Amino acid sequence: MIIFIIIKNKIGGLTILNTQIDTQLVQKSRPFTAVSIIIGGCVALAFSLALSISLGAADISLGTVWDAIFHFNPDVTQHQIIYELRLPRAIAGMLVGAAFAVAGSLMQGMTRNPLADPGLLGINAGAAFALAICFAFFRNLMFNELILISFLGAGIGAGLVYGVTSLSKGTLSPVRLALAGAAVSSLLVALSEGIAISFQIAQDLAFWYAGGVAGTKWEQLQIMTPWIIVGLIGSIAVSRSVTMLSLGEEVATGLGQRTGLIKLIIILLVLVLAGASVSAVGAIGFIGLVIPHVARYLVGVDYRWIIPCSAVLGSLLMLLADIAARMINPPYETPVGTLIALIGVPFFLYLARRERRELS
């Protein structure tokens, strides 16, 4: 029916089709719920940020946190702890949580694959592999150079996954893509561990494999933040195009979209978001898998709402996971990636089972 309308009257048909799709998106979206999530989520983020700063090996009152942020006194020890250690850690958690969640939203919308996630499709493992090579052969690189190399590694990981999948017979099903991602990720992790053992850099890589925001400094934030902010703004800018792609490439092409260019932009945004995040906090998986599904369930199918809601919810999940990591077994910290995997693995199995039922 869509193709018939376009052939019958190219100009008028495109206008009618565009209007019909916009009407359907409005009907299937819940803008009031989305706005409520964004506003409520920002309030929850502010409270979680203060809570994250106050909790630690030595608990600090919320009043002291307020004074340290707005009336910093370098002569007060608690102010120094807050400003130098806990504040950059909390901000990093918010940024990378949003980045991973939005990267997952972009991938799921572009590929129409409910199992798409930077961690499941080799992007995180590729970035970590590139970092392992840097630690082994280029130990004196600056952090901004590590970010660029992480982008390259993330692109290699994603390219390997899609290359392996394209060699198989049949359609590019979500389950097949996830299996190829798992295989490529395992290979890259094994190579990274081999490099770590051979060049005695296992301790340097342990942090990245465990995943966490502990030890994040202002210097890292100054380099990482512009990349993530640009990635988030770019993701919101292409959100309508992602919605069109999620309806099918034929529909997007029929609406006059240059799907090849849009896909290239989306891939670059995903690599920027995931690469910058992995270089700072390690290969934390499943945020980009779980959060977009939660956002889609709450606000509907329009990515103009899914992407900003995913950013807010991803930040909140990362902050809460980081708080839990410090509270489970004090004074030791549980890896954040492990805590998020406790949610993500059952969710992934549920999605894979549902996808298998739909295909059968």
Tell me how far apart the alpha carbons of residues 151 and 124 are, in angstroms, rounded to a whole number: 10
Band of pLDDT at residue 6, cut at 50, 70 and 90: very low
Distances (CA, A) of 125 to 99, 128, 195, 272, 280: 16, 5, 14, 15, 14
Q: Please count the other Cβ atoms lying within 10 Å of the Cβ belonging to residue 253.
A: 15
DSSP classification of residue 2:
H
Stretch among 141-150, 164-173, 256-265 having the lowest mean pLDDT: 164-173
3-class secondary-structure state, position 1: coil
Rg (CA), the chain: 21
Q: Which of 50, 48, 93 is nearest to 284 (CA)?
A: 93
Tell me how far apart the alpha carbons of residues 35 and 1 are, in angstroms, rounded to a whole number: 34
Band of pLDDT at residue 358, cut at 50, 70 and 90: low
pLDDT on residue 180 = 83
Q: Are 104 and 309 in contact (CB under 8 A)?
A: no
- Helix ranges (H only) for the chain are 2-8, 10-28, 31-54, 62-70, 77-81, 87-111, 123-137, 143-167, 174-198, 202-210, 218-237, 239-246, 249-254, 259-281, 287-299, 303-327, 336-359
DSSP classification of residue 114:
T
Omega prior to 226 cis, within 30 of 0:
no
Residue 14 scores a pLDDT above 60: no
Residue that the structure tokens 């993530």 belong to: 228
pTM of the model: 0.84
Helix axes 87-111, 287-299, angle to 10 degrees: 70
Dihedral pair phi/psi, residue 113, rounded to 5°: -115, 110
Between the CA atoms of 194, 197, 201 and 202, what dihedral angle is there, to the nearest 10 degrees?
A: 90
Q: Which residues contact 174 (CB under 8 A, 6 or more apart)?
A: 111, 113, 114, 115, 116, 355
Tokens of residue 27, six digits: 């009907």
Residue 38 scores a pLDDT above 90: yes
CATH number for domain 90-359, candidates 1.20.1250.20, 1.20.140.10, 1.10.3470.10, 1.20.120.80? 1.10.3470.10
Q: What is the pLDDT of residues 299-319, one digit of tens each?
A: 988 999 999 999 999 999 999
- Helix ranges (H only) for 112-238 are 123-137, 143-167, 174-198, 202-210, 218-237
Tell me the one-letter amino acid at 331: P
Q: Which of 91, 44, 339 is nearest to 213 (CA)?
A: 91
Give the pLDDT mean for 190-200: 84
Stretch among 4-18, 38-52, 171-185 having the lowest mean pLDDT: 4-18
Q: Which residues contact 297 (CB under 8 A, 6 or more apart)?
A: none
Q: Which residues contact 114 (CB under 8 A, 6 or more apart)?
A: 108, 174, 293, 351, 355
Give the pLDDT mean for 318-336: 85
End-to-end Cα spacing for the chain: 27
Tell me how far apart the alpha carbons of residues 360 and 356 are, in angstroms, rounded to a whole number: 6
Tell me how far apart the alpha carbons of residues 252 and 152 are, in angstroms, rounded to a whole number: 29
pLDDT on residue 174 = 64
21 or 339: whose pLDDT is higher?
Answer: 339
Stretch among 18-32, 108-122, 133-147, 204-218 having the lowest mean pLDDT: 18-32
Band of pLDDT at residue 168, cut at 50, 70 and 90: low
Q: Are 246 and 303 in contact (CB under 8 A)?
A: yes
Domain boundaries, the chain: 90-359
Tell me how far apart the alpha carbons of residues 223 and 226 are, in angstroms, rounded to a whole number: 7
Q: Which of 263, 271, 291 is nearest to 227 (CA)?
A: 271
